Structure 1
Amino acid sequence: MIHSKAGVPRGPRRRTRARRPLRRGAALGLPTAWGAIAITYKLACPLAQQNGLGARIVTSAVFLAVGTGLIVQVRRSLLRELRQIRQIAGAAQNALLRPLPPRLDGLNLAAAQLSAERGAVVGGDLYEVLATEHGVRVVMGDVRGHGIAAIGTVAAVLGSFREAAHDEPDLAGVLRRLDRAVARHLRERARAEHPAAAGPDHDSALAEEFVTVLLLEIDEDGGVQALNCGHPWPYRLGATGVEPLARAGPLPPLGPFPLPPELPALSCGQLPPGEALFLYTDGAEDARDQHGRFFPLPEVLATVAQHPLPLPESVLGSVFTALLRHTGGTPADDVAMLVLRNDRLPPHPQPGARSGDISGSAAGAEHTAEHTVARTSPTTHRH
């Protein structure tokens, strides 16, 4: 049963429903008219009964015009329906992988995703950034496979993260919530795809399905903590160059293996103002050119991320341009990239510092603030 929302007038909806038969009748009216003209000409016109060359040419021209009109009308109807389907699909995909704000809690953001499935905006890659009372929390993930089949798992992971990021006080709790959401989704999917299976067979039906997940937490002071389940480590872009955020071995991906009893978050140091993190899925590094060579992501980042660091959207655009040039078109796998730059003001000096240090620090903070505003102001005019 469909319940209408309170306060919504029902008159316009009834008028819309009443117009639907009229629209359908109008869509069928022109083809019917063309068909009636052709039949009337064939049965009633004396010229159509003659066997001369001129009569045959005229008859052929009439039926050619009728056929062309029918084809044009059918094509218009199909294009109209295709536009409506694309609008609905685009709205659903944007609700699933919604656009990120250009700025969040002092962090400048830019993200983009390229699906290997033709006509799809969302594939098997996922990302989300949320400002919570525990800090800014980030998820980047990659579902096994790509395209339409992976969207259900993406929805399960993102839905769980958007709730757990606010509820759980530490990253370990967030990761366990994601693990339970993935396991529940895979069980339900196994029952739907393999209804004849029962008991343990449900779990074995999708035993090869998994999700790589990277969780980050950035506190007010720029401290970064991470939990990594089989995902590539992001790159830190700073004054010293391009380097991985961490080199520790990740945990297994979510799905095939249970999480360990202890999940201590890895401390990844500080993200000072002006530095950035570049998160990506393995579709970026695994992209190959026509000679089978992998995309040199670290080298491209070293070229793009010059000091002072450009805006995140500029970094993202340059990397995507280089990637598409390397592959000669759409890559064979889904690709997602996310850039976070710390544009927060430096902390104020502690009480008790020497007057010279205070004045010098204040002048430096003022200069940094002016420089930061000058660099971040274009984000308010994104297209």
Structure 2
Amino acid sequence: MIRFKPGAARWAPPRLLSRAPTLAVPTTWAAAAVAYRLTCPLARDDALSARLVSSAVLCTVITGLVLHVRRTLLRELRRARGIAEAAQSALLRPPPPRADGLAVAAVHLSADRGARIGGDLYEVIATEHGVRAVIGDVRGHGLDAVRTVAAVLGSFREAAHDEARLEGVLRRLERAMARHLRERAHTESDPAVAEEFVTVLLLEILPDGEVRALNCGHPWPHLLTGARADPLDRTDPLPPLGPFPLPRELPPVPCGRLLPGEALVLHTDGAEEARDTEGRFFPLCDVLTEAARARPLTPQTVLRTVLTALLRHSAGPPKDDVALLILRNERHVRHSAPALRPRVHATADHLQYPG
């Protein structure tokens, strides 16, 4: 015998209750058709006029049912799309407009029609260790890529605050990626799971503008200064996360200082590899140089310039996911900072790759 606690709601079949309003209209239409057939003399009359009336009634019933089903499906579709958009926004949420004196803007263009997110990821977080940013590119598209994005971003959002050193953040991402692939291997029979990987670029910007980076197979960002756009660094990157273990030592690469008024443009390879109708690659560096000459130089103007040129070049949406993340230093000039800063380009001699 089932007993209910006092004040507790009585159980009822939730599926049936939720569908009751939906079933009421077609039930009414069907009842009207049956009642017409059983009670109306015209339904049993073989005369041509009676048949025409019966046909009109039948067409009216069918039309009503079709319109009702159509409205119901459209309502369910809008509800499902709203839920999906909310979930996507929570996963790849818009970055804050400012992070500890840095102006921030980002955009993501998914290659999958109707999706807001795909295989690209980015995030910016102001922590007690400095402003930390990540941008990455997961191999592939679809739901599997979205799950990988969720695993990497979830790990970064915790590690960025917890880890005092940038290499500690990367270790956490490596472990999260390995755990994610192990779980997929247990639940999926696809051998390609073992070949999944994600390229990741980690940046750390300290209060004095010093920039340090750890790059796992990702394109280097561009520095917008004056009227120029130059790659931030050209050292050999580490291997992507997934197929190979990272080296035992992970010293961050020093990249000089981001001075007030300068901007960093982080991007995925979809921006560089977008092709036009003749197969030519998108001239990202030239477009960024054009964006660097704009006044005022803001992350929004850089995004607008790049997106306009990219969509014009590819004659429509890109064939691959594209993510752009812009960080501009809007901190006040510090008198203790040097007037000129050297462009530090570290070498790859200190990086140890697994044999």
Q: Report the TM range for the smaller structure's normalisation.
A: 0.7 to 0.9
Asked if residue 55 in structure 1 is aligned to residue 53 in structure 2, the reply is: no
Residue deviations 1:235-279, cap 9 Å, x none? 111104011111111111111111111111111111111110111
Paired residues of 1:116 and 1:147 also in contact (CA < 8 A):
no
Aligned to 1:263, what secondary structure does the other structure show? coil
2:104 matches 1:109? yes
Alignment of 1:103-142 (within 5 A): 103-142=98-137
* Residue segments in structure 2 that go unaligned for 5+ positions in a row: 1-6, 340-355
Match of 1:263 among 215, 225, 250: 250
Q: 2:298 aligns with which of 311, 316, 320?
A: 311
Q: Are the counterparts in 2 of residues 230 and 252 from structure 1 also a CA contact under 8 Å?
A: yes
- Amino acid aligned to 1:206: V
Query: 2:181 corresponds to which residue?
Result: 186
1:206 partner SS: helix
Aligned equivalents of 1:236, 1:205: Cα separation in 2: 37
User: In the alignment, residue 107 of structure 1 is paired with which amino acid?
Assistant: L
Residue from 319, 323, 343 that aligns with 2:310 = 323
Q: What residue identity is the alignment partner of 1:316?
A: L
Query: Are the equivalent residues in 2 in contact too, given 1:122–1:147 (CA < 8 A)?
Result: no
Change in 2 beyond 3 A, CA 1:118/1:57: same
Measure the CA separation in 1 of the matches of 2:126 and 2:225.
Answer: 23
Q: Which amino acid aligns with 2:185?
A: A
Whole-angstrom CA distance in 1 between matches of 2:17 and 2:173: 49
1:18 to partner: Cα distance: 9.9
Find 1:232's aligned residue among 214, 219, 240.
219
CA distance in 2, matches of 1:329, 1:40: 56
Give, as a single letter, the amino acid of the residue that structure 2 aligns with 1:334.
D
Quote the residue 1:100 is aligned against.
95
Matched, 1:337 2:332: no
Equivalent pair of 2:199/2:241 in contact (CA under 8 Å): yes
CA distance in 1, matches of 2:277, 2:45: 63
Superposition pairs of residues 1-383 of structure 1, within 5 angstroms: 24-194=19-189, 206-348=193-335
TM-score by length of 1: 0.81
Would the alpha carbon gap of residues 57 and 185 (structure 1) be closer, same or farther in structure 2, given more than 3 Å must change?
Answer: same
* Aligned CA distance change for structure 1 residues 14 and 324 (closer, same or farther; 3 Å): farther
- Distance in 1 of aligned mates of 2:313 and 2:34: 58
Displacement of 1:21: 5.6
- Counterpart Cα distance in 1 of 2:121 and 2:100: 21
**1:342 CA drift (Å):** 0.4
Quickly say closer, same or farther: Cα 1:349–1:336, change in 2 above 3 A: closer
For 2:344, the equivalent position in structure 1 comes to none
Contact kept? 2:221, 2:232, Cα under 8 Å:
yes
Distance 1:320 1:135 in 2: 29
Letter in 2 for 1:298: C
Q: Taking structure 1 as reference, are residues 20 and 296 closer, same or farther at Cα in structure 2, changes over 3 Å only?
A: same
Q: Check the 8 A contact 2:100/2:126 in 1, yes or no.
A: yes
**CA shift for structure 1 position 87:** 1.9
Identity of aligned residues (%): 63
**In structure 2, what is the Cα distance between the partners aligned to 1:295 and 1:55?**
70
State whether residues 209 and 259 of structure 2, in contact with CA within 8 Å, keep that contact through their aligned partners in structure 1: yes
